[in-house]
Amino acid sequence: MPCPSTVNIPECFAQLNYAAISGDVEYARFFYDGLLIESGYASLCVKCGACEEKCPPQGIRIRDVLTEVSTLFGR
């Protein structure tokens, strides 16, 4: 953070994790839609890789995870 494309990476990850842990995708989608309100959606990612350069050395492919978020939540 900050993402040059305004993706709210922590919130995207939080809602994806909630959906995976709880199994309640619709509840996670409700918060994803409500909290991000058109700015911050995973679909805004342009795959520039700037986030992965700043990420702690966990080896997370943030761009791939954001694609998963966008696919799951439709934005």
Helices 62-73 and 9-22, packing angle to 10 deg: 60
Local confidence band at 68 (pLDDT 50, 70, 90 cut-offs): very high
pLDDT tens track for 12-42: 999 999 999 999 999 999 989 887 776 789 9
Looking at residue 29, what is its pLDDT?
A: 93
pLDDT tens track for 49-62: 999 888 777 788 99
Tokens of 1: 């953070």
Closest by CA to 20, choosing from 70, 75, 69, 74, is: 69
- The Cα-based distances of 45 to 2, 23, 60 in angstroms read 12, 25, 15
Its pTM stands at 0.88
Local confidence band at 1 (pLDDT 50, 70, 90 cut-offs): low
How far apart, in whole angstroms, are the C-alpha atoms of residue 35 and residue 65?
Answer: 19
Residue type at position 7: V
